[in-house]
Amino acid sequence: MTAYPSVHPDLDLVLERTVDVAPELVWKAWTTPELVVRWFAPRPWSTSSCEIDLQPGGRFHTVMRSPEGEEFPNTGCVLLVEENSTLIFTSGLGPGFRPRAAGDDFPFTAVIRIESAGDGTRYTATAIHADASARKSHEEMGFVEGWGAALDQLVEVVKGR
């Protein structure tokens, strides 16, 4: 497991939970676009498309759709891939490690850590921000509730429900 990143409590947001599905299945749900679209956006939102090129510099792309049908595309960059253990991607760079033009919304780096815990998985999702104001915006958008609901959906998908 990589030493990075380290969490800064004033700047970052963390969702930590244990779920009763195996780490390999959580990894598969996070890295297979056909599965991601089934759980990534908390209902009543949905995910209308997903593309992942699973290597450093690769494209991480999702389109979330609101209940009213409005679409919100997000294109970021994969940074680190440690199979069944750690996935890191960021909206702070574009695909191919290209810097973002200024003036976009607050970017964040997502760190998904997956560890074996009994028969299940210790799941830690961290959002890393540039500053406290970006953290606050993300928190007020409902990071913890949203990522928690998405995780519940991921578990449903993995269990084939």
Give the number of other CB atoms < 10 A from CB of residue 111: 23
By CB under 8 A, name the one of 43, 98, 136, 159 that touches a second copy. 98
Q: Does 109 bind a second copy (CB under 8 A)?
A: yes
Nearer to a second copy, 94 or 120 (CB): 94
CA 75/CA 51 separation, integer angstroms: 9
Q: Does 57 bind a second copy (CB under 8 A)?
A: yes
* Dmax (CA) of the chain: 45
Interacting positions 25-54 with a second copy (CB under 8 A)? none
Q: Is 143 within 8 Å of 127 (Cβ atoms)?
A: yes
Nearer to a second copy, 6 or 118 (CB): 6
Q: Does 1 bind a second copy (CB under 8 A)?
A: no
By CB under 8 A, name the one of 101, 118, 160, 161 that touches a second copy. 101
Residue 69 C-beta: closest distance to a second copy, Å: 30
> How many residues of this chain bind a second copy (CB under 8 A)?
39
Write out the DSSP string of 86-132.
EEEEESSEEGGGEEPPTTSSPPEEEEEEEEEETTEEEEEEEEEESSH
Residue 161 in tokens = 């429900």
CA-CA-CA-CA torsion sign (140, 143, 144, 149)? positive
Nearer to a second copy, 48 or 84 (CB): 84
Binding interface with a second copy (CB under 8 A):
2-6, 8, 11, 55-58, 79-80, 88, 90-104, 106-109, 111, 128-131, 134
